[in-house]
Structure formats: structure tokens, C-alpha cells
């Protein structure tokens, strides 16, 4: 087997490694992010974990330069100036502009290079903003987030319908799924080249994917402990398939150039 197919490097990009002012929230985020790392390792990936707020955007680019695939995980709201929004909105969280800048650049580079990319929750929103899209800054929580509960109960379970023929439907093997989410912002205007790949029962976009590049984002949390048991593994398997397909296409071209 091609060595590149057996030595895949995945970089999991989170927001920050420290939230001393919000220990309960930070602990919850760490549980979720650690599950992504563990599942990816179990699937055969060599995994590196990087916090985008803890390094400069230039260093983030350098640290992820050799990645065969990327996962941008959840966290705080994106700084509104990156999508033409303003501060002072309902439910506003802390912002990490350095992380926003670095992660946006990663999406743009992934698009240019054809690097497989999965965005989870905030990661979906980063994908959309990086490609020129906008966000609805606050929604009535409805089915998307439990309110006035301890952090361990914040995830809400609801149904999602995937677009038939979408990459996500192919990866998950069905169009009707159950998910867990905890978000108060959603996609407004789609970024360039992005398609809505799933909707919640209230009609809000729950996933997106690029029309030609291997870029997918889900607004829910497949890495949550109570999510359907195979959901995260199937999404990671989709990244593997996208990477392997890319290597198989590029290998003959590289061989021909070398000859």
C-alpha cells in the first residue's frame, strides 16, 4: 500500500488551552476535543492538537503545514468584525481574534490546496466566514441549545435531515439522523462555493459543504459522549476517504513529473 495512505497526519485545531475564568465550560470543551483526538487515533491517524489562540497565525500555519487533513473544533463566538457584524449582541461570548484569524487562514489554505477539512460547531462557522459568508448572531434557543441548565446538560438532542446526494449523506449512510447541538449562532449568507448540506426541523442550516473541495462543516457535536455512537467515526472515515482519494489522484502526476 502507498506509504502516504498509512501515515496520515491529522491536526485538530481548537481555540485555546486555558479558560481560567470559565473552568466548567473549559472542562466540557476539553472532553469534546479529547474525544476527537481519541477517535482519530483509533482510526489510524497520527494526531497533533494545536490551540489557535495560543500561537500567532503565522505559527499556526507553520504547525499545520504538513497536515493531511484538519478538524476545526468548537468554542467561542467568532469576532464579529470578521463577518461584518457588531458587538453587543444577545448571548455574546468571549472572542479570540488571534484564533479567528489563524483558523480562517487555515480554511482558505485548505481550499487552495485541496486539504480535507471538517469543521465542528464553531468550525462550521469559521468555514463559512473564511469563504465570505455571514452569521446570524443570536437565535432563540429552541431545539438547538438547552438553557438555564448546568454545562453538562447544555447539549440538546434533535433531528437533522441531510441533503440527498451530499458528501455528508454519503459519509453517514443515511439522510435522517439525530444530533446533539449547543449553539446560539447559525449560518446566514453562505460563503462562496458552499452549499447547505443539512437542515434542522425549524429550517435552520445544520451543515454545509463545498461544491468542489473536500470541506465539510457540521453545526452539531458528533464528538459529544451521548451522540450516536458511530457518528464521529463515520465523519472521520469520510476525511480518510477524501485524503486517500486525493493521494491516489496526485501520485501518478508526481511520478510522471519525476520521470
Residues involved in catalysis: 121, 221, 223
Please say whether the beta carbons of 167 and 220 come within 8 A: no
Residue for grid cell 446570524:
136
Which phi and psi (to 5°) does residue 98 adopt? -65, -40
Which phi and psi (to 5°) does residue 112 adopt? -65, -35
Dihedral-angle region of residue 85 (phi above 0 means left; psi in -120 to 50 means alpha; beta otherwise): beta
Beta-bridged to residue 216, according to DSSP, are 118, 209
Q: For residues 173 and 241, give the distance between their C-alpha atoms in angstroms, rounded to a whole number.
A: 14
Q: Give whole-number Cα distances, 64 to 68, 132, 163, in Å.
A: 9, 22, 31
Amino acid at each position: 500500500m502507498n506509504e502516504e495512505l498509512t501515515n496520515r497526519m491529522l491536526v485538530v485545531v481548537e481555540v485555546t488551552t486555558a479558560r481560567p475564568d470559565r473552568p466548567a465550560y473549559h472542562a466540557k470543551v476539553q472532553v469534546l476535543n479529547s474525544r476527537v483526538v481519541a477517535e482519530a487515533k483509533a482510526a489510524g491517524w497520527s494526531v497533533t492538537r494545536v490551540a489557535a489562540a495560543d500561537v500567532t497565525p503565522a505559527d499556526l500555519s507553520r504547525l499545520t503545514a504538513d497536515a493531511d487533513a484538519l478538524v476545526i473544533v468548537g468554542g467561542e463566538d467568532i469576532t464579529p468584525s470578521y463577518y461584518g457584524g457588531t458587538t453587543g449582541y444577545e448571548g455574546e461570548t468571549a472572542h479570540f481574534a488571534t484564533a479567528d484569524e489563524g483558523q480562517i487562514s487555515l480554511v482558505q489554505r485548505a481550499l487552495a490546496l485541496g486539504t480535507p477539512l471538517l469543521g465542528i460547531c464553531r468550525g462550521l462557522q469559521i468555514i463559512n466566514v473564511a469563504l465570505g459568508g455571514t452569521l446570524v448572531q443570536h437565535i432563540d434557543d429552541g431545539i438547538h441549545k438547552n438553557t438555564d441548565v448546568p454545562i453538562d446538560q447544555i447539549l440538546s438532542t434533535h433531528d437533522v435531515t441531510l441533503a440527498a446526494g451530499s458528501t455528508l449523506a454519503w459519509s453517514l449512510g443515511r439522510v435522517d439522523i439525530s444530533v446533539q447541538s449547543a449553539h446560539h449562532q447559525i449560518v446566514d449568507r453562505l460563503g462562496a462555493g458552499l452549499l447547505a448540506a443539512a437542515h434542522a426541523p425549524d429550517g435552520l442550516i445544520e451543515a454545509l459543504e463545498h461544491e468542489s473541495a473536500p470541506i465539510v462543516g457540521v453545526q452539531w457535536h458528533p464528538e459529544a459522549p451521548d451522540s450516536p455512537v458511530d457518528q464521529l467515526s463515520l465523519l472521520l472515515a469520510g476525511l480518510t476517504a477524501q485524503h486517500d482519494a486525493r493521494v491516489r489522484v496526485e501520485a501518478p502526476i508526481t511520478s510522471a513529473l519525476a520521470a
